[in-house]
Amino acid sequence: MSFFGSRWVQAPAHATECDPTALPRGFRAAGVAAGLKQPEALDVGVLVSDCTDTVSAARFTTNARVGAPVIASREADLARLRAIVANSGGSNTGDGQRGLDTARATQALAAELLGVGPAQVGVASTGVIGTELPREPLLAGVRAAVGALGEDAEGLSRAILTSDRGPKRACLEVTLRSGTVTLSAQAKGGGMISPRFATMFCFVQTDAAMSAATLDLLTGVTVKRSFDRISVDGQLSTSDTVFALASGASGLWVAPESEDELRLGEAMDALLRQLALEIIHDGEGCKRVGRIVVRGGSELVESVARAIANSNLVKTALHGGDPNFGRILQAAGMVFPPGEGLIADLEIEGRLVVSAGEAALGELSELAPLVAREEVEYVLTLPGSGAETEVFFSDLSPEYVHFNAEYTT
C-alpha cells in the first residue's frame, strides 16, 4: 500500500517510495531508552549530518509560551544545523533557568560528541508542561544515542513518540533532471495544534544540495500547506518544531526557481501533507478525518475554516457519522459580524446541502451514507471570490476525553 493513503494528497510525480526508515546519504541517526518515559521505551533520538556543507531550515510554534528547547533552538544557527537531539517524556516547558540550562547542556554535549558547534545542534522535547526534564538521564541518553548512530531512522522515529499509535515516517527517491536524490522525514504528534497533551515534530532530510535560502523557502511553503492546516483540538502547542536538513551528499545542486526545485518541492509537499494527515488520523480515538474547504471573497475564509474545524459540535457529529450540517453554518456564523447574515452554499461530499443559506435537502437521512466514510469533505462557498483555504481536522471521540482526563495522574 502506498504511503500516500489519503485522497487529499496526490502522490508526487518524479518520486518513488523506498524503505520508510531509510535516510538520505550523509545522515545517521539513533534512538535509545534513557528512562524519561516508560522503562525500555525509546525516548532520546539523535540525527546528524556528516557533511560540513549541510544547510538547514526550521519552523517553530507561534505560541507565546514556548519550551526551553524552542528558545535554545531559536538562538542556534538555524541555516547551518548539523544535528538534532529530540526527546519524549518531558517537554521542558515552564522550568525556568534550570530548563534552559538543560537544553543548552544538551546542545553542548551533542556538539562535543559529534564534532560540531553547539549552535549547530537543534533540540526538541515533548511531554508534560511544567515539570522538570531530568538532565542527567537525558545527557546519558545523548551519549548512548551518539554511540549507536546508524544508517536508518527507525530508532529516531520511535524515540519522539508520545501517545502516537505508531511511528510516522517515509522516504522518497526523487528524480531530478540531473539524477536522483533522497528525501525522508519523521514526524510525531497530533497537530500543529497540540494533539492530546503533546506536540508535533517533523524532521526532514535530503541529500540534495542547495542554498539555505532555497531550503528555507521549501520548508516554509510546505509547512504552510501541511502542519499549518491541521487541527486535532485547536490547541497550539508550546513545542511544535520542524527541522529540515540538506546534506548535499548527492552532489546534485537544486538551483532557485529551477525545474528541480519544483520537483523536490512537489515531493516535499506531498510528503509533509501526508504526514500531517497521519497526525490527524493518529489523534486519540480518531475515527474520521474531515476536510473543510472555504471559498469566497472574504478575508474571513481562514477564520471560518478554523471555527468549523475546531467546533466540538462539528467534530462530534463527524465522529458519529451524524449528518448534522446545521452545525457547520452555526460555527461559520460565529465569526461573522453580528447582523450581517450568512449567505453560503455548503456541499458535503459533492452533494449540495445548503443553497444561498437555506437548506436544499429533503431529509437529513439522505446525508447519512456520505458522512459515514473515513474521510469526509465539506466545501463552504461564501459570497465573492479570490480566497480559498482548507483545514484538515480529526473528529472528537470519547477516547480523546478519557485519555486527556487522566494524563498526568
Asked if 196 interacts with a second copy (CB under 8 A), we say yes
Q: Contacting a second copy (CB under 8 A), which of 5, 134, 333, 383?
A: 333
Catalytic site includes residue 199: yes
Q: Is 96 in the site for a second copy (CB under 8 A)?
A: yes
Nearest to 310 by CA among 296, 292, 297, 295: 292
From 319, 348, 377, 381, residue interacting with a second copy (rule: CB under 8 A): 319
Terminal C-alpha separation, the chain? 39
> Smallest distance, Å, CB 127 to a second copy?
10
Residue 376, strand partner residues: 290
Stretch that binds a second copy, among 7-15, 93-101, 155-163, 174-182 (CB under 8 A): 93-101
Instruction: Work out how close the CB of 356 gets to a second copy at its nearest, in angstroms, rounded to a whole number.
Output: 9
Name the one range near a second copy by CB under 8 A: 113-121, 244-252, 273-281, 309-317: 309-317
> Is residue 211 within the footprint of a second copy (CB under 8 A)?
no
Handedness of CA 308, 312, 315, 320 (dihedral sign): negative
Residue 236 CA to residue 255 CA, distance in Å, equals 35
What distance lies between CA 193 and its chain's CA centroid?
Answer: 9
Q: Which of 63, 175, 180, 258 binds a second copy (CB under 8 A)?
A: 63
Interface with a second copy by CB under 8 A: which range of 117-125, 160-168, 249-257, 316-324? 316-324
Instruction: Tell me which residues in 125-184 interact with a second copy (CB under 8 A).
Output: 128-131
Residue 51 near residue 26 (C-beta atoms within 8 A):
yes
Distance CA 355, CA 345 (A): 5
93 versus 106: smaller Cβ distance to a second copy: 93
Residue choice 34, 36, 66, 204 for contact with a second copy (CB under 8 A): 66
Q: How many residues contact a second copy, by CB under 8 A?
A: 74
Distances (CA, A) of 91 to 17, 100, 201, 334: 32, 12, 12, 34
| 384 near a second copy (CB under 8 A) | no
Catalytic residue among 102, 126, 199, 214: 199
Q: Which of residues 232-271 bind a second copy (CB under 8 A)?
A: 233-238
At closest approach, how far in Å is the CB of 284 from a second copy? 10
Q: According to CB under 8 A, which one of 175, 303, 316, 389 is a site residue for a second copy? A: 316
Q: Which of residues 342-361 bind a second copy (CB under 8 A)?
A: 342, 354, 357-359, 361
In whole angstroms, what is the distance from residue 1 CA to residue 207 CA?
26
Contacts of residue 126, defined as CB under 8 A and 6 or more positions apart, other chains included, come to 86, 87, 88, 90, 91, 160, 162, 188, 189, 198, 199, 201, 239
The 3-state secondary structure of 296-335, one letter per residue: ECCCCHHHHHHHHHCCHHHHHHHHHCCCCCHHHHHHHHHC
* Active site positions, annotated: 199
